């Protein structure tokens, strides 16, 4: 029974930790499927988290905070679009620039506005997205196996976690069952064909970048107002890059993206839990190794030792309309 509870708690924190990864990963999916590489997921998430933290502090409303996060993140996404779609700049360079701008601006503005070393003040529960107890969770708690499973694992997350996981089938539906999705995929594979069909390539790609911004904003708001209570300097800590890795690992497909994010979230959860606990046979694993594990795993996965990931064909290439 004890190991059952431990396992449940492990999976529970897996879900919490993978939610922001999943949101960022799906964000990247919209953008990259349309042929716009996005290294800037990290920066957009960070800027979104800061906007959420600041607005929640001023107005005390989690939903306003979410809105602010989305707006800021979309604005940065539009900068990325302006550079890489309108001016056909290098998409990777532009993404890197956005990461630095976000990293610097959040700290400078945070320090100037709140004077707490770059963080925003701690948020009261009223200004956060709090865990929701699903109907019947308390009542079912006593039921063996299913009860704790429902109570611990499925119930008791913030609404953004449910949103993140609901976005998986939604994204699948958009991508594979709507006209917009078809065009989105087409513009990432063969923009000339889309152009020939009389559809504007830039406008389609801008919409993809906006979708990406919205989801990154939600991910940022989750970090600052659901998982944490306020913005902390550099709080994304590489999550944007891990999400990118998960996206490649999932070969740019939504359902697989969810499993990849759950895997990375699980590794994170195991790493946190294993700190100071020696393993049988191996002995105590250094914390640093567990922290590096997602990155090592990503490199191994990217190296194609487990299947080859083929990116959208027109990814990273600006479209030049023939004259």
Partner 1 sequence: MSQPFAKLPAWADYGLLPLINLIVAFLVAGLVVLLVGESPIDAAVLMVKGAFGSGDGVGYTLYYATNFIFTGLCVAVAFHCGLFNIGGEGQAYIGGLGVSLVGLWLGNFLPWWLTFPLAILASALVGALWALIPAWLQAKRGSHVVITTIMFNFIAASIMVYVLVGVLKPAGSQAPETRVFAEGGQLPGLGWLLDLVGLSMRSAPLNVSFLLALVAAFLVWVLIWRTKLGYEIRTMGFSPKAARYAGISELRIIIITMMISGALAGMMALNPIMGAQHRMQLDFVAGAGFVGIAVALMGRSHPAGIVLAAILFGMLYQGGAEIAFDMPNISRDMIVIIQGLVILFAGALEHMFRPSLQRIFYRLGRAKNRTAAAAIAGGNQ
Question: Count of CB atoms within 10 A of residue 24's CB?
Answer: 35
- Mark the segment that binds partner 1 (CB under 8 A) among 3-11, 55-63, 164-172, 292-300: 292-300
> Counting contacts by CB under 8 A, is residue 98 touching partner 1?
yes
Residue choice 100, 170, 173, 176 for contact with partner 1 (CB under 8 A)? 100
Please report the beta strands in 61-115, taking only residues with DSSP state E, as ranges in sequence order.
Answer: none
Residue 309 gets which letter from DSSP? -
DSSP 136-205: THHHHTTSTTHHHIIIIIISSB-HHHHHHHHHHHHHHHHHHHSHHHHHHHHHHH-HHHHHHTT--HHHHH
Question: Given candidates 67, 295, 317, 319, which one binds partner 1 under the rule CB under 8 A?
Answer: 295
Decide whether 142 or 286 has the Cβ nearer to partner 1. Answer: 286
Q: Does 299 bind partner 1 (CB under 8 A)?
A: yes
Q: Is 75 in the site for partner 1 (CB under 8 A)?
A: no
- Partnered with residue 196 across adjacent β-strands are none
User: Rule CB under 8 A: is residue 176 a binding residue for partner 1?
Assistant: no
282 binds partner 1 (CB under 8 A): no
Q: How far apart are CA 169 and CA 153, in angstroms?
A: 20
Task: Decide: residue 10, CB within 10 A, 0-12 exposed, 13-18 middle, 19+ buried.
Answer: middle
With CB under 8 A, what is the number of residues at the site for partner 1? 48
Rounded to whole angstroms, how far apart are CA atoms 165 and 176?
18
Report the residue from 88, 141, 177, 313 that binds partner 1 according to the rule CB under 8 A: 88
Contacting residues toward partner 1, per CB under 8 A: 39, 79, 82-84, 87-94, 96-105, 107-109, 111-112, 118, 238, 241, 244-245, 248, 286, 288-289, 291-292, 295-296, 298-299, 302-304, 308, 323
């Amino acid at each position: 029974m004890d190991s059952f509870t431990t396992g449940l708690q492990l999976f529970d924190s897996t879900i919490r930790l993978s939610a922001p990864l999943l949101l960022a990963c799906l964000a990247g999916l919209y953008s990259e499927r349309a042929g716009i590489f996005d290294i800037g997921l990290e920066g957009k998430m960070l800027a979104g988290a800061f906007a959420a933290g600041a607005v929640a502090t001023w107005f005390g409303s989690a939903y306003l905070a979410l809105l602010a996060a989305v707006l800021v993140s979309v604005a940065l996404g539009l900068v990325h679009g302006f550079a890489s779609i309108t001016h056909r700049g290098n998409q990777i360079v532009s993404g890197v620039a956005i990461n630095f701008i976000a990293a610097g601006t959040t700290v400078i503005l945070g320090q100037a506005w709140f004077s707490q070393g770059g963080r925003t003040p701690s948020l009261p529960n009223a200004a956060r997205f709090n865990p929701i107890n699903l109907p019947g969770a308390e009542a079912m708690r006593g039921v063996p196996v299913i009860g704790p499973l429902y109570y611990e694992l499925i119930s008791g997350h913030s609404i953004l976690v449910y949103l993140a996981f609901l976005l998986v089938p939604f994204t699948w539906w958009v991508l594979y069952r709507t006209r917009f999705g078809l065009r989105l995929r087409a513009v990432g594979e063969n923009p000339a064909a889309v152009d020939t069909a009389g559809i504007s390539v830039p406008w389609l790609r801008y919409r993809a970048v906006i979708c990406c911004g919205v989801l990154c904003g939600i991910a940022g708001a989750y970090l600052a107002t659901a998982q944490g209570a306020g913005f902390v300097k550099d709080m994304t800590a590489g999550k944007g890059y891990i999400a990118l890795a998960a996206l490649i690992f999932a070969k740019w497909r939504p359902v697989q993206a969810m499993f990849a994010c759950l895997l990375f979230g699980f590794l994170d959860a195991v790493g946190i839990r294993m700190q100071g606990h020696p393993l049988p046979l191996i002995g105590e694993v250094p914390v640093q190794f567990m922290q590096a594990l997602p990155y090592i795993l990503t490199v191994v996965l990217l190296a194609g030792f487990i299947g080859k990931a083929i990116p959208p064909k027109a990814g990273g290439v600006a479209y030049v309309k023939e004259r």
